[in-house]
Structure 1
Amino acid sequence: MFLREVKRQNRNGTRVSYLQLVHNDWDPAARAARTKILYSFGRTDQVDTAAIERLIVSLSRLLDPAAALKATAGSDLSLLGSRPLGGTDVLDGLWRRLGIDTVLNRLLAKRRGSAPFERVLFGLVANRALAPSSKLAAADWISNDVHIDGLPETSDDVCYRAMDWLHDVREHLEREVFAQVANLLNLEVDLLFFDTTSTYFELEDPDTPVDRDEHGQVVAGRDGKDGQDGQDGTDDEQSAAGFRTYGKSKDSRDDLPQIVIGMAVTREGIPVRVWCWPGNTADSKLIRQVRDDMRDWTLSKIVWVADRGFSSQANRRYLRRGEHTYIIGEKLRSDSPEIKTALSRQGRYTTIGENMRVKEVKVSDSERFVICHNPEAAERDAHIRDQLVAQLDELIAGSDKLPTMKRGELRGKISTKPGLNRYLRLTPGGLLRIDKAKIKTEANLDGKYLLRCSDPHLSATDIALGYKQLLEVERGWRDMKQILDLRPVYHRLEERIRAHVMLCWLALLLIRIAETTTGQTWHHIRRDLDRLHAVTFTGPTGTFRQRTDPTKPQTDLYARLDLSLPKKIIEITPAGR
């Protein structure tokens, strides 16, 4: 059975052809094959191609997929390869919807002789979100392992030049990207959460100190001086420090040079902006720079939400400038008269959730304190304290009979364990005892944390719930380090390190929008999208690339994100090009 084309010439000289489905039958009498017409499709130029496609699909169901592909593709068509398409296509759709491509291309238009850095930067951002790697490996990933629209290939040199340009335009980019995101997503930027983290580098020696201004930026041609953050809130205008240098590590790696990274996040979990400082920069002064940088972003009234590391008097005074207010965590174990007064005030708690009670205390006209109590956390604190006291009691049992020197050695051993040393008391005679007064004091703090707020209009419930959302920043740090692989950083130049952090911020922005829109984690989104591929075939007439048929989870993801699926035929390249 085969398809036959019959041609003939009309009386007027025109030539026409007809398509017929025919089959050869053997005629035993004539001892020859006779052609039998099974079906006539009519004139070739008038054939219903849609009907033929339906017939082919129907017949293909009788074959296994490999045989069907061989039968329909023909022996001259070869499969060149298959690359993941869904992840990069969705990220590119969000990238364009937020107008990031427009912003970058507009900034590029002001620079002569620029390469297509917008596509390269998107490729690097997609690499952070889908397969984090070094820039050399990212260039290979873009060129050989994934399909990115408008970027068939790139090189590590182009990636580095694109990062250098990104560092030059970072301030303009951050401002315009935030404006686009705020308008499209209708963000409520009344609460702005800020926190810092650090990331270390596997170096033998820190960077050479250079002169820096109060914002940690390099200042050329001036002599540096060792400035420290004073208790009165005044900073030296200039100091000398290397970018990758030793400081208090939040990764418990004080033995390695590091940098400090800050991030501001909205209540929806959308990262607004990131900052980088030398590794020895103290948290206490960072928020003041952040507040100044955000001042010119034409935002409405902002309530800054920050952790206990930013609760100095100078920081609080700085955040109250203008119409801005703050919610800041306070240390319960403090010598501050205000905090002692707030904790000693009597009053009833109001239940605002399953595991949350709040009590407001007003100490002054300008500031309010809110005591938050978690009953489950209180039980956990009490259980841990009972274990510590039991362990301490076992250690000091019989110590009265020890010689004075041996008792001193035991006292020194316990002093190295803060959890135990907290409940140890030394009598005037040098004997070791359990400090029952300290146990009672600590019991009064079980499951509690203290908040300070300068906004007179926020309720105690809003203050407590607003501070609880600070977890969004910590979640952002966790995703940056575990999903986007912020570390290790394969760069030594300060500008490249800052650009690397910018790429991680843009990747976090895209995946957080995808998560908030779909209600799924990026891990599940990426898993489903990676299964949508672009398959490349080649034949005598050229090469073409088409996508695989989407599954229902993939179709649902595109629908929730309000994005169109990629075209069935993505690209066609005729032979000879």
Structure 2
Amino acid sequence: MYLRKVKRKNKDGSQVTYLQLAQNEWDPKAKYAKARVIYSLGRTDQVDAASLERLAKSITRFLSPEEALKAQENIGDAIDFRFESSKRLGGAWLLHQLWRKLELDDIFKDLLRHRHHDTDIERLLFAMVANRALSPSSKLAMEDWVRHDVAIPALEEVSSQQLYRTMDVLLEVRDALEKQVYFSVANLLNLEVDLIYFDTTSSYFEVEPHEAPEGENFRQLGYSKDHRPDLLQTVIGLAVTREGIPIRCWAWPGNTSDMSVVEEVKNDLVGWKLGRVISVVDRGFSSEDNLRYLQRAGGHYIAGERMRAGKPETEEALARKGRYHTIRDNLKAKEIIVGDGEARKRFVLVSNPKEADKARKQRASIVETLTKKLEELGDLSGKQHTKAVCDLRSHKVYGRYLRQLKNGQLKRNKQAIRDAARYDGKYLIRTSDDTLSVEDVALGYKQLIEVETSFRDLKSSLNLRPMHHRLEERIQSHILVNWLALLLIRVAEVQTKQTWRTIRKTMNQMHLGHYSSEKGDFQQRTEITHEQRQILSTLGLEAPPKVFDIQAKT
């Protein structure tokens, strides 16, 4: 259907133009389309132009914003649009779509359905999660970030007080939230949850120990995995699936030891319908009490063993001769059974020839440097000699390959050098499950690196540390927000096989521009690049519309 002009010549030779609403219809006899006049609007010089403009505008209400904008450009006077500003859109849009795909929006809204808030708590929570993933900042700085820098769907602005209140609400629904998020993510992504990897890390606070309030029990000094033993810290635990998806997090006082948290973690996961769970833990958790506890309720474990601990069964396993079987390139393993009956223990000794060669070369370089330093001692005397001997003896690297004679002279410890070669490229694993193959045990433990990847993302991409919160509740909530952000970025990384740094850089190149004119405003995104479209397609996410909003001025 369309408007057409028809010219007719009068007897006096003058021409008259008529405006008609017509439609093309196929004539089966003539074998071509003919125009059929539906309505004649009269002579063009007598047509009510204002009525036609109103009709055209009413029709645009049934068009998409982009089509309507194009149509309105031809209605009335030409519109002079001015480019006012832009915000980054792509990263926030990707996270927003993932948030919805994992049903996190519905979960949070359901948990708050009996509460009445003046603000949209779900949107505020998403804004904090997106901030950690895209441009970590303080809650106060987020006010400017949302207003000027990033386009958060359905959220124009925030206040720091609203964000702090949202953190308090988040902690109130924590238990139910973690459980529902796990079930939603496990079902939607079809996760394999027969293997659960667990490990801990620490994160510090920019507070000197003497500045902490009296009686505080959460921020404590402890063993720092960030190499900041001078600062107060908290201990953070993560449970991660074999795909690398973090399903739950914990936070404990900074002086908590790894050995003391296994029971709590095991109990917290009871009732999550994880099926036959085999917990994979690092050497720091492999005490006999912890391993026995992991076997409760039919559970099993794969645990790293300290090879230099001097335990009789460990020494026997390392001394046992046997043939290695190749599992994968640069990875060999052999099974070792120590003891009988109830004392029976199953070990798997893994050897990585590539890592062994690397360790040999590093040690050869250390021994060579050590030899030179010992020779240099002969040129010193008095206090200089004494100080140099003490420094060398207490050195973390060189000290392990030294022995001191009765006269105080330092010599290379050849036995220590030979003993160190015994462990090159090897690690020892113990498991309680006899049904697992040697390959499953070796590769299962090797996958513990997924937890390390998650910790690295927490501390680098999400800037978990340093933390400036003082109250324990806010610290716990801050860690929860980071966990939710980590969940989204790990899903994106696992499915696209790209790092979050690359994904974020690519998607943040998509902007949302704000245009204004005397007749109204509208927002339009930049064109979607091939790389951006590929990321969205791989994740199964919708692309953002080209035109977001049209507001006509009356």
Residues 208 and 456 of structure 1: CA distance in aligned 2, closer, same or farther (over 3 Å): farther
CA distance in 2, matches of 1:308, 1:110: 45
Alpha carbons of structure 1 residues 96 and 400: separation in structure 2 relative to 1, 3 Å: closer
State the partner residue of 2:412. 434
Query: 2:514 aligns to what SS in structure 1?
Result: strand
For residue 18 of structure 1, report the CA deviation from its aligned partner. 4.5
Please state if 1:78 is matched with 2:53: no
Q: Does 2:334 correspond to 1:359?
A: yes
Match of 1:144 among 141, 144, 148: 148
Distance 1:446 1:199 in 2: 31
Partners of 1:144 and 1:153 within 8 A in 2: no
Cα distance in 1 for partners of 2:189, 2:229 equals: 40
Equivalents in 1 of 2:117, 2:356: separation in Å?
A: 64
2-structure distance, mates of 1:70, 1:393 = 86
Give the CA deviation at 1:425: 2.6
Distance (whole Å) between structure 1 residues aligned to residue 409 and residue 95 of structure 2: 67
Q: 1:544 to 1:406 in 2, by over 3 A?
A: closer
In the alignment, which residue of structure 2 is the partner of 1:243? 218
CA distance in 2, matches of 1:425, 1:333: 19
Q: Offset at 1:469?
A: 0.8
Secondary structure of the 2:398 match is helix
Of residues 427-436 and 144-153 in structure 1, the stretch that sits farther from structure 2 once superposed is: 427-436
Partner of 1:186: 190
Give 2:502's match in structure 1, choosing from 505, 524, 538. Answer: 524
Quote the Cα distance in structure 2 between the aligned partners of 1:7 and 1:281.
Answer: 90
| Contact kept in structure 2, 1:7 and 1:15, CA below 8 Å | no
Indicate if the aligned counterparts of 1:206 and 1:246 stay in contact, CA closer than 8 A.
no
Change (3 A) 1:479 1:71: farther
Distance 1:553 1:311 in 2: 45
Bigger shift: residues 390-399 or 131-140: 390-399
Correspondence for 1:173: 177
For residue 131 of structure 2, the aligned residue among 120, 127, 130 is 127
CA contact (8 A) 1:356 1:375 kept: yes
Distance 1:7 1:104 in 2: 64
Q: How many residues align?
A: 504
Q: CA deviation at 1:155?
A: 0.9
CA–CA distance in structure 2, aligned partners of residues 380 and 73 of structure 1: 75
Q: Which runs of 5+ in 1 are unaligned?
A: 20-42, 61-68, 211-240
Residue correspondence of structure 1 range 330-349 to structure 2 within 5 A: 330-349=305-324
Asked if the contact 1:189/1:266 (under 8 Å) is kept, the reply is yes
Matching of residues 51-450 of structure 1 within 5 Å: 74=78, 76-113=80-117, 115-204=119-208, 205=210, 207-208=212-213, 210=215, 242-364=217-339, 365=341, 366-397=344-375, 411-427=389-405, 431-450=409-428
Q: Measure the CA separation in 1 of the matches of 2:458 and 2:305.
A: 27
Answer yes or no: is the 8 Å Cα contact 2:330–2:352 preserved in 1: yes
Range with greater deviation from structure 2 (137-146 or 180-189):
137-146
The correspondence for 1:495, drawn from 473, 488, 497, is 473
Kept in 2: contact 1:208–1:242 (CA 8 A): no
Contact 2:19 2:44 in 1 (8 A): no
Q: 1:520 to 1:347 in 2, by over 3 A?
A: same
Query: What per-residue deviation string (whole Å, max 9, x for no partner) do you get for residues 386-437 of structure 1?
Result: 2333333334449799999998766533321132222223345655433222
User: Match of 1:146, as an amino acid?
Assistant: V
- 2:461 corresponds to 1:483: yes
Supply the distance in 1 between the matched residues of 2:533 and 2:462 (Cα, whole angstroms). Answer: 25
Q: Cα gap change, 1:17/1:301 in structure 2, threshold over 3 Å: closer, same or farther?
A: farther
SS of the residue 2:273 aligns to: coil
Does the 8 Å contact 1:261/1:276 carry over to 2?
yes
Question: Residue 147 of structure 2 contacts residue 156 of structure 2 at CA under 8 Å; is this kept in 1?
Answer: yes
Q: What are the superposed Cα offsets for residues 327-358 of structure 1, whole Å, 9 maximum, x if unpaired?
A: 11111111211111111111111111221111
Cα distance, 1:542 vs. partner? 2.8
Q: Partners of 1:199 and 1:401 in 2: how far apart?
A: 45
Could you tell me how far 1:143 is from its partner in structure 2?
Answer: 2.0
In structure 2, C-alpha distance between the alignment counterparts of 1:305 and 1:438, rounded to whole Å: 31
* Structure-1 separation of matches of 2:140 and 2:517: 33
Q: CA–CA distance in 2 between the matches of 1:300 and 1:392?
A: 53
Q: Provide the C-alpha distance between the structure 1 equivalents of 2:103 and 2:180, rounded to a whole number of angstroms.
A: 9
Q: CA deviation at 1:488?
A: 2.7
Give the counterpart letter for 1:95 in structure 2.
Answer: W
CA distance in 2, matches of 1:380, 1:90: 41
Deviation, structure 1 residue 450: 1.0
**Structure 2: stretches of 5+ with no match in the other structure:** 6-15, 21-39, 46-51
Give distance in 1, aligned partners of 2:491 and 2:379: 66
Output the aligned Cα RMSD: 3.4
Relative distance call for 1:426 and 1:407 in structure 2 (3 A) is farther
Cα distance in 2 for residues equivalent to 1:73 and 1:95: 43
1:423, 1:9 → 2: CA distance? Answer: 100
Give the stretch that moved more between structures: 280-289 or 398-407: 398-407
- Per the TM alignment, residue 73 of structure 1 is displaced from its structure 2 partner at its CA by 9.6
TM-score, normalisation: structure 2: 0.83
Classify the secondary structure of the residue corresponding to 2:112: helix
Work out the CA distance in 1 between the residues paired with 2:78 and 2:376.
91
User: Whole-Å Cα distance in 2 between the matches of residues 73 and 479 of structure 1?
Assistant: 54
Per mean C-alpha deviation after superposition, the further-off stretch among 374-383 and 402-411 is: 402-411
CA offset digits 1:309-330 (Å, max 9, x no partner): 1111121111111111111111
Contact 1:207 1:245 in 2 (8 A): no
Task: Tell me: CA distance 1:396–1:90, structure 2 relative to 1, closer, same or farther (3 Å).
Answer: closer
Letter in 2 for 1:483: S
Secondary structure of residue in 2 paired with 1:441:
helix
Question: Taking structure 1 as reference, are residues 74 and 343 closer, same or farther at Cα in structure 2, changes over 3 Å only?
Answer: same
Are the structure 2 counterparts of residues 301 and 114 from structure 1 closer, same or farther at C-alpha, using a change threshold of 3 Å?
A: farther
Q: CA deviation at 1:9?
A: 11
Contact 1:423/1:434 (8 A) holds in 2: yes
1:488-539 alpha-carbon deviations (Å, 9 max, x no partner): 3232221111111111111111111112222222222222221222222223
